[in-house]
Structure 1
Amino acid sequence: MYDKTFSADPRAAYEHLRRQGVAAPVELAPGVEAMLVTDHAAALRVLHSPELFAKDPRRWLALADGTVPADSPVVPMMMYRPNALFSDGAEHLRLRQAVTDSLDRIDPYQLRRFVERSSDYLVDQWAATGRVDLLNHYAKTLPLLVFSELFGSPPELGDRLVAGIAGIFDAVGDAEAANTMLTGALVELVALKREQPGSDVTSWLMAHPSRLTDEEMIHQLVMLMSAGTEPQRNLIANGLRLILSDERFSASLFGGGASVEDALDEVLWTDPPMANYAVHYPVRDVDLSGVVLTRGTPVVISFAATNSDPALIAHGRRPSNRSHLAWSAGPHACPAKDSAWLIATAAIEKLLNRLPDLELAVPVAELDWRPGPFNRALTALPARFTPIAPRPAAPAGPAPARPATAAEHPEPGARKGGVWSSFLNWWRGQ
């Protein structure tokens, strides 16, 4: 599942695996074996049965006995961290409550406004050129701006956070170095917020009655930022790919919000940004509809494969409702799906409203998918449009309270300095 053959045509792989039963053996990385669940009903049983399928990776026998080396590229995505994703029982409830209560404090109106301002800034960097890579110069950068604001991250940490997250999601390169980079940046962020709390998710987590330790803080942030950047950019990019290549969604090019939502809903069915994840570990040998899942073996849920389960279509459940598993299900379902949906919808609507003649610059069949067992991610999304003049910088209110430095590496097309400090200067009209 880690090579270009799989990423080029995962549906063919899922069909082959489905013929072996509700779950089948796969290799996530060289020498890393797991069972992949491709059946929708079986996936729901795993997701809703914490008494049989635990989330704590310390139950992963092959990692514990050294069969899987610690420097395997998939380990950073699967290793134990004291966060809500990798915990069970009472500890999961305590950490999950801190996360959900903090996320609930995000103002949807302010979030949409910030997404739209971020979109305007990014479009203005290349509006006059008539050409853009919508993945790397829009979908990738917009979540960086949004989550730097939501989590109170100063500019000198932004690039390190996103580079680290991208590295562990790819799971094909030096993931151990990426994990070290990500952890180091979060250690600095937590220390900063202990001294200077603000109106942001990091500070709200710190102030929660759950009284998270610094280590717990770091690992909740790993979970939230990982879920909020890499999958978010893939949701935006995959949504744009569908809208720009499928005439069913052409209305969205003229500002049709419903069409954008319909396109995103279809993406969550067919090309979910996290195609395979929700790793569980059987607490004992379990018979799952005729397939024996061995204690301590990683059981991965294929959201993409379960969404295309023929049984769903046979029962008329797809695409008439949102019974897809792109947000997972059960006690570990995504706690931030409403914010993620809002960000993706606002980002696409704003872009299409500003560039109504936007179109792909290459045939859709020539787009390349990034290899990796977990995500469904393009390598680029080249597009073209009629060049337009950048909008004048006219602040609609005070800029986000972040110190501006030049420590970040500049994004292509951005002004001198990092993307966050450049954005702040644009916001202030400088």
Structure 2
Amino acid sequence: MDSPSGFTNPPPGCPAHQGMNGSQPEPVERVPLYGPEFAADPQRFYEYLRQYGPAAPVEFAPGVPVTLVTDYSAALQVLQSPELFSKDARRWRDLNEGRIPHDSPAVPMMAHRPNAFFADGAEHLRLRQAISDSMAKLDTHRLSRQVERISTYLIEQFSTRGTVDLVDEYAKLVSLLVINDVFGCPAHLGDRLAEGWSGVWAGDDAEAASKLVGESLTELVAYKRAQPGEDVTSWMVRHPAGLSDEEMINQLFTMTGAGADPVRNLIGSGLLLVLSDERFFGGQYGGALLVEDAVDEVLWNSPPIPNYGVHYPTRDVELFGMRLAAGDPVAVSFAAANTDPSLSASRQMLSKRAHLAWSAGPHACPAKDPATLMAIGAMERLLNLLPDIELAVPVENLNWRLGPFQRGLVELPASFTPVRLRSRTPNPSQENVAARQTSAPEPAPAKGGWWSSFLARWR
């Protein structure tokens, strides 16, 4: 197979096998996973990387070497073997020895934070239990109602125009506002948290945006210690694990970011599939089944977090005959493992949840069910309220976010028949969208921000 980036084909035999006789392995050409070519067609890269064996040499950013696992069985072995593959990024040898630029875009995603995501053993169990127990208290019926209310509110903001960017004006905001609700943010803190995460994702001033997120979460923890409620933050504050303020802030930093961004990507990719693939547009089974099928297909073929699950061998180990050095990052390509050709004959027989979109093993995503519910609910609400919505540009003209860590659209322009809102009622079961005719644009949210505007609207 020709290289997707102009590289020559790898030499006969897997480069990772070199040096097995005790000699130093020869340098190998690493495949970059951060340019526009990778963003446009990642599956072509994965197909090329499979020539190296179950794992391949890549770069997550300039000067950041990583071994990427592309084989489904090898991925499970890494994810389910914490005694051999640690999550503690303080083992990252290249970073410790000064070979990784500290301003690298990979460092914020890979460097250690004192939370469950980067912990092992008893410490991981203690922190993870606080998260899992708190997430388990979520009322799925209440969550569904809130997703419906938030989705309806956001649709009202653009429904009179007849055009919308379904990523920036819908998917991103649905995920952020639902996360605000789940974690019990009061109006002003929810506005700041949404602003901070929007800035982190936009990358305009990521350092300042990340600082805003941290400050907002610090205030949120203090607020919930003083005034606990029925929300995930309050349940974690009161958990028997006795998390300190620093532990709470670091847990919430990962949970809010990792909760909202994948849902944004999942909604965007799911809507693209529904609006562009005739298998999902209309049909005899109704919207709910079609939306669920679309979400399942995205999770299998284009997961919102395609390459992550970074681990560090605790000692020199072999993985399916491949030598991996202690302290060198080994990342799992959830996207490549899900599309492993060895699964092609058996995928239909596997459980729908056999995919690795939410990882596996002790660090599997604790919020995969609420995240899936949020995506399905938001997609269903949009398609129900705007049944004639369609893409406004050809699929090949769409752009994807750069980098190896997320698979998400930059924008998703769509058009539909403009709608005039009949009334403003807080009951989403009473259809607000009825008479279809051109009308003046809806006013933007109050200056306070999207979250405070939503709270004022629905209260």
TM over 0.5: yes
Deviation (angstroms), 1:62: 1.1
Residue 410 of structure 2 corresponds to 379
Question: Of 399, 403, 407, which residue of structure 2 is paired with 1:368?
Answer: 399
Deviation (angstroms), 1:254: 8.5
Using the size of structure 2 for normalisation, the TM-score is 0.86
Q: Secondary structure at the match of 1:132?
A: strand
Pick closer, same or farther for the CA change 1:316–1:255 going to 2, 3 Å.
closer
Deviation (angstroms), 1:163: 4.8
Separation of aligned partners in 1, 2:37 and 2:389: 30
Separation of aligned partners in 1, 2:215 and 2:397: 38
Residue 335 of structure 2 corresponds to 304
Q: Does 1:275 align with 2:316?
A: no
Residue type of the partner of 1:354? L
Please tell me the root mean square deviation across aligned C-alpha atoms, in Å. Answer: 2.1
Separation of aligned partners in 2, 1:412 and 1:242: 30
Which stretch has the larger CA shift, 191-200 or 351-360?
191-200
Residue type of the partner of 2:314? V
Query: Do 1:21 and 1:290's aligned partners in 2 also have CA atoms closer than 8 Å?
Result: no
Could you give the per-residue CA deviations for residues 20-46 of structure 1, whole angstroms, max 9, x where no partner exists? 111111111111111111000000000
Q: Does 1:356 align with 2:356?
A: no
Separation of aligned partners in 2, 1:207 and 1:320: 36
Pick closer, same or farther for the CA change 1:383–1:197 going to 2, 3 Å.
same
Q: Does 1:150 align with 2:182?
A: yes
Which stretch has the larger CA shift, 317-326 or 268-277?
317-326
Q: Secondary structure at the match of 1:19?
A: helix
Separation of aligned partners in 1, 2:35 and 2:443: 29
Residue 270 of structure 2 corresponds to 239
Which residues of 2 match residues 106-255 of structure 1 at below 5 A? 106-165=138-197, 175-251=206-282, 255=286
Separation of aligned partners in 2, 1:75 and 1:184: 20
Q: Secondary structure at the match of 1:393?
A: coil
Residue 367 of structure 2 corresponds to 336
Deviation (angstroms), 1:320: 6.6
Deviation (angstroms), 1:303: 0.7
Pick closer, same or farther for the CA change 1:153–1:320 going to 2, 3 Å.
closer
Query: Do 1:76 and 1:176's aligned partners in 2 also have CA atoms closer than 8 Å?
Result: no
Separation of aligned partners in 1, 2:316 and 2:341: 27
Deviation (angstroms), 1:71: 2.4
Deviation (angstroms), 1:416: 4.0
Residue type of the partner of 2:106? V
Query: Do 2:63 and 2:101's aligned partners in 1 also have CA atoms closer than 8 Å?
Result: no
Separation of aligned partners in 1, 2:205 and 2:324: 30
Residue 36 of structure 2 corresponds to 4
Separation of aligned partners in 1, 2:47 and 2:456: 51
Residue 345 of structure 1 corresponds to 376
Query: Do 1:395 and 1:427's aligned partners in 2 also have CA atoms closer than 8 Å?
Result: yes
Using the size of structure 1 for normalisation, the TM-score is 0.91
Q: Secondary structure at the match of 2:354?
A: coil
Separation of aligned partners in 2, 1:174 and 1:73: 12
Deviation (angstroms), 1:175: 4.3
Residue 401 of structure 1 corresponds to none
Pick closer, same or farther for the CA change 1:206–1:83 going to 2, 3 Å.
same
Query: Do 1:255 and 1:352's aligned partners in 2 also have CA atoms closer than 8 Å?
Result: no
Q: Secondary structure at the match of 1:263?
A: helix
Q: Does 1:86 align with 2:111?
A: no
Residue 54 of structure 2 corresponds to 22
Pick closer, same or farther for the CA change 1:159–1:5 going to 2, 3 Å.
farther
Deviation (angstroms), 1:415: 4.0
Q: List runs of 5+ in structure 1 lacking aligned partners.
A: 398-410
Residue type of the partner of 1:380? E
Query: Do 1:393 and 1:427's aligned partners in 2 also have CA atoms closer than 8 Å?
Result: no
Deviation (angstroms), 1:154: 2.6
Residue 25 of structure 2 corresponds to none
Which fold has the larger relative contact order, with Cα–Cα distance below 8 Å and residues 6 or more apart in sequence? 1
Residue type of the partner of 1:386? T
Query: Do 1:244 and 1:360's aligned partners in 2 also have CA atoms closer than 8 Å?
Result: yes
Separation of aligned partners in 2, 1:120 and 1:252: 24
Q: Secondary structure at the match of 1:278?
A: strand
Residue 64 of structure 1 corresponds to 96
Pick closer, same or farther for the CA change 1:167–1:332 going to 2, 3 Å.
farther
Could you give the per-residue CA deviations for residues 61-104 of structure 1, whole angstroms, max 9, x where no partner exists? 11112211332211111121121111000111111111011011
Residue 95 of structure 1 corresponds to 127
Pick closer, same or farther for the CA change 1:174–1:40 going to 2, 3 Å.
farther
Deviation (angstroms), 1:161: 2.8
Separation of aligned partners in 2, 1:34 and 1:13: 15
Percent identity, aligned pairs only?
A: 58
